[in-house]
Structure 1
Amino acid sequence: MRILITYGSKLGGTREIAGQLASGLRAAGLDARALPPEEVDDVRAYDAVIVGGGLYAGRWHRRARRFVHRHVQALRERPVWFFSSGPLDDSASRGNVPPTTQVRALMEQVGARGHVTFGGRLEPDARGFIARAMAREHAGDWRDPEHVTRWAHSVALELRDAAFLEAPR
């Protein structure tokens, strides 16, 4: 089973989460690849898709949004999950952080099976006026590799269950 993980990432933290998800899915025996949206021509080459986006002021990264809009029909035809990254605290590791309204609307468009929010990362020397201002009080790395791995394994189990149910008997 071929799984695509694609992402919109501004500073690299979401890209790294996508890589961790791909590693977790491969460890579960699936063929998973993490690619930026601009390197994906056709999602029909994949059996399932995970789309992730960094959250910036409550909005999903535009590359993730554009990817969903560009491939909406093909995404409707396969299992899809979404992830967000961004809270600059430990809230995502402590409990479920629901998708933003914007992400929820995209999920509904493609019939996504689920969503998870992972903590974000902001370097103390972040560039840009807003990022620098935020870094003064919120610099740090709140990504939780164990949370990422657990979620990857839950997706792998769901895919295996779905494949079992669809297999001819």
Structure 2
Amino acid sequence: MGFAYLRYISMLYNAQHGFVMNKRKNQKNNTSLKRSLSLPQLVFYGVGTILGLGIYELLGKVGGEGGMLAPLAFLFAAILAAFSERWPELVPGFNIAEEAKRPNRDKPRAIIISLVIPAFLYLLVSTIASLGLSPEALDKSEAPLADILAEKGENYPKIISAISLVAIINGVLV
């Protein structure tokens, strides 16, 4: 998960640098940007990426049950991850950095907010895990939240589906 934080901070740094370079270019060519990303949109992009990686890690245990089709599932996941990471640049045809209305003000806020929200959610999940299972069961578990839902939850498939649906909607909105 630390890689996701570093990648997002690196993306925001590159975004500001790209914005400055394109601003100079736009002054020469007298062109303007077609879209702008606000602070909430930047935060949704970062939080969606980080939480998406967390959900992928959480559901990684399910990949072991794929049997002979597990390599195909991982190939599909790799292709999906590659395209979803580059979606903001491929679909609209511009760099996400060019979108910031006020990068000097919004960049620090976006970094802080997108680090605080996942940290809070991870603390919430760890609190739920520590209250839901014994320390021995947590130590042996590869996916504690999935084990808690399987053991304590009657609607396990519905809950996992709801978590996946929220992740998908978040990805679509970003």
TM range, smaller chain: under 0.3
Higher RCO (CA < 8 A, seq sep 6+): 2
**Which protein shows a greater Rg?**
2
> TM-score, normalization: structure 1?
0.24
Q: Which has the higher helix share?
A: 2
